[in-house]
Amino acid sequence: MNRTLNTPNLFITLLKPEHLTLLVNYQNENREHLAKWEPARTETYFSLEETKKQIDKSMQQFKSGSTVSFVSLNKSKTEIIGLCTFSDIVYSVCSACYLGYSLCERAQGKGLMFEMLQATIKYMFEQYHLKQMMASYMPANIRSENLLIKLGFEKEGAAKAYLKIAGQWEDHILMSKIAD
């Protein structure tokens, strides 16, 4: 199974130990930008040691079949542009997963997250034979709403105080996409 995707502007691959320095740079350079959309992070989270643990955990979850974490790099492979994770992959009467993603601040508004997700969603549906993908966004995050709609996700409902983001319990809009 090929786990490398090339799009017009991105090189997309599994998050691996070789991305350690690039991931530390991505997390630190986008710390303020991503803070309003992510759980509260301690200073330790941004360290080389903690990032190594994050990558190791990602690799273990990949091997167990529960999570697939992708990283998108610029074409010269010198910088992380974005991340996306397909987590809680389940097979049984339900064949589904959850999608999470982030994009570096400098790449906002250029269509790169759409490019990455379009390629990785197609890959996940085809290679993992999933029937459904779920994602959520905070109502104030209009960019995520527009992105998910453009990708073919449909609104399923709302969840009050769904996730603790930046130290506060935030409402989320629940979306899903069914395989074609």
Instruction: List pLDDT tens digits, range 15-43.
Output: 999 999 999 999 999 999 999 999 999 99
- Which residue, among 70, 177, 60, has the nearest Cα to 130 in the 3D structure? 177
What pLDDT was estimated at residue 1? 52
Tell me the CATH number at 25. Answer: 3.40.630.30
- Tokens standing for 161? 């105080």
In the chain, the amino acid numbered 165 is I
Mean pLDDT computed over every residue of the chain: 95
What pLDDT was estimated at residue 92? 85
- Which residue, among 72, 119, 66, 123, has the nearest Cα to 96 in the 3D structure? 66
- Which residue, among 27, 22, 65, 73, has the nearest Cα to 46 in the 3D structure? 27
Total tally of structural domains belonging to the chain: 1
In the chain, the amino acid numbered 35 is A
What pLDDT was estimated at residue 180? 83
In the chain, the amino acid numbered 40 is A
Give me the domain span that covers residue 102. 4-178
Give the separation between CA 22 and CA 65, rounded to whole angstroms. Answer: 25
Q: Read off the pLDDT of each residue in 121-149 and give the average, rounded to a whole number.
A: 96
Q: Read off the pLDDT of each residue in 73-85 and give the average, rounded to a whole number.
A: 96
Q: Identify the band that residue 171 occupies on the pLDDT scale cut at 50, 70 and 90.
A: very high
Rg of the Cα atoms in the chain? 16
Per-residue pLDDT of 83-129, as tens digits, reads: 999 999 999 888 999 999 999 999 999 999 999 999 999 999 999 99
